[in-house]
Chain A
Amino acid sequence: MDMDVSSLEGGITCIRLRGRLDAPGADSIGVKFSAAASMAPSRVVVDLSGVGFIASLGMRLLISSARNAKAKNGVMVLFGATTMVHDVLEQMAIDQIMPIVASEALALEQARAPG
Chain B
Amino acid sequence: MGDERLHLILANRLEALEPARQAMVAFLEPAALHAKVLFKLELVLEEIFLNLLWHAFKDAAEHKVEFTVQLQADQVTLSFEDDGIAFDPTQAAEPPIPASLLDAPIGGRGLKLLRRTARSLSYERREGRNRLRVAVART
Residues on A facing B (Cβ under 8 Å): 22-24, 27, 53, 55-57, 59-60, 63-64, 66-67, 70-71, 84, 88, 91-93, 96-98
Closest B residue to A92 by beta carbon equals: B109
**CB <8 Å contact, B98 and A97:** yes
CB distance from A58 to the nearest CB of B (A): 10
B107's partner among A56, A88, A97 (CB-CB below 8 A) is A56
- A60 to B109 CA separation, bound complex (whole angstroms): 8
Closest B residue to A75 by beta carbon equals: B101
B93 at the interface (CB under 8 A from A): no
Q: Using Cβ atoms and an 8 Å threshold, which residues of chain A touch B104? A: 63, 67, 97
**CB <8 Å contact, A56 and B50:** yes
What are some 23 contacts across the A-B interface (CB < 8 A)? Answer: A22-B42, A27-B14, A53-B39, A53-B42, A55-B42, A55-B110, A55-B113, A56-B46, A56-B47, A56-B50, A56-B110, A57-B50, A63-B104, A63-B106, A64-B106, A67-B106, A84-B36, A84-B39, A92-B112, A92-B113, A92-B116, A97-B98, A97-B104
How many CB-defined contacts (below 8 Å) exist between A and B? 67
- A55 to B17 CA separation, bound complex (whole angstroms): 13
CB distance from B23 to the nearest CB of A (A): 15
B61 at the interface (CB under 8 A from A): no
Closest B residue to A61 by beta carbon equals: B106
**CB <8 Å contact, B106 and A60:** yes
**CB <8 Å contact, B14 and A23:** yes
Residues on B facing A (Cβ under 8 Å): 14, 17-18, 21, 35-36, 39, 42-43, 46-47, 50, 97-98, 100-102, 104, 106-107, 109-110, 112-113, 116
6 closest Cβ contacts across the A-B interface?
A97-B101, A56-B109, A56-B110, A55-B46, A64-B106, A60-B107
- A23 to B17 CA separation, bound complex (whole angstroms): 9
For the complex with contacts A53-B42, A91-B113, A97-B101, 13 further pairs of A-B residues with Cβ separation under 8 Å are A23-B46, A23-B50, A53-B43, A56-B107, A57-B46, A67-B101, A67-B106, A70-B101, A84-B35, A93-B97, A96-B97, A96-B98, A97-B104
- A77 to B50 CA separation, bound complex (whole angstroms): 27
